[in-house]
Amino acid sequence: MAVAGETPLLNKRYKLLRPIGQGGMAVVYKAQDLSLGRIVAVKVLRENLTGDAEFLARFQQEARAAANLAHPNIVTVHDFGRDGGRYYIVMEHIEGKDLKAFIKEHGPFTVDQAVDLAVQICAGVGYAHRAGLVHCDIKPQNMLVTADGRIKITDFGIARALASIRPGEVTDVVWGSPQYYSPEQAAGEHPTPASDVYSIGIVLFEMLAGRLPFVASSQQQLAMMHLREDPPRLTLFNPNIPDTLELIVHKVLAKEPAARYRTADQLGRILISYRQEGDGRTGPLSAATPPAGVPAARVAPVAPTLPALTRPAAPQPEAHQPEPAPAEEGLDWVALVLGFTAFLAVAGLIPLWVWVYQVWVP
């Protein structure tokens, strides 16, 4: 599908070839960078959002921040610019489908495949959290799966710019996607890293169950379900889910942010620990056969620290220690000499007592 009319150029450098995606905030084009001769993806902000100067300033600020996120699980941002009334972000072009398409075609995934992909998601989002960015719009549509099975997360700049218009205030506008946003986002509160963790939990639930935990006919109903209803048990849809993994997902989907893992890095370490423990299974989980059509996941390295869910080591029996032999009993000569000396001292006072009695007693 070609771009309508004459092929547009942005700043005489980026030749827009065809649209490859769109949403409420922007249209994404496959484009050619004429200066460097490479294919890129260009996200052009919709014109109805360009009239707010404060939004544009934050959009530019966050685009610059996202450009500094150099991580194998994050789509690289190359450039940000303006051409007349059009504002755009230039990113690396990824050949592949988004994760939502894979879930629709091949879900539910095996436990091994879902955990491996979730670890990659946590690696990318956790890196952004350490850089001071909250994604605010975590969903499988914003995650591209490459031919070799790597997750690439996109859409950091716009989502963060929208969420940051009035930090700390409750508004009537809810930013994010109703199927995936957190209870605090549903209430109009400012998102935090724990909000991203909740959304990752929704994605993990969807990969394991082949469906979303909350389904409703309207955004308002979805918001109320996120705020008030507990998610259904994963084993209702996939009886092969181990108990430990179900407990992890249940904690991630807690209503209160303080009850969840605080950052994506923390959740990633929990999942790595679970994968290492294997829940009684043997062999590396990444070697498991994925669903048909889903490439084997390539897991970005994350430090495998062992958090609270690690099984405690079995107590080792104490080695038998022989009881110490009783000390030999003998005379305590020091005590004997001191006692005899005290006796002589007291006995030597007897004549003095007799003299005092004779003198003073009539």
Active-site residues, by number, are 137
Q: Which residue has the tokens 């679970």?
A: 274
| C-alpha torsion angle, residues 212, 176, 132, 251 (rounded to 10) | -30
CA distances from 32 to 18, 97, 157 (A): 10, 20, 21
Could you tell me which residues come within 8 angstroms of residue 333 by beta carbon, excluding any fewer than 6 positions away?
Answer: none
Contact 118/200 with Cβ under 8 angstroms? yes
Could you tell me which residues come within 8 angstroms of residue 227 by beta carbon, excluding any fewer than 6 positions away?
Answer: 183, 186, 187, 255
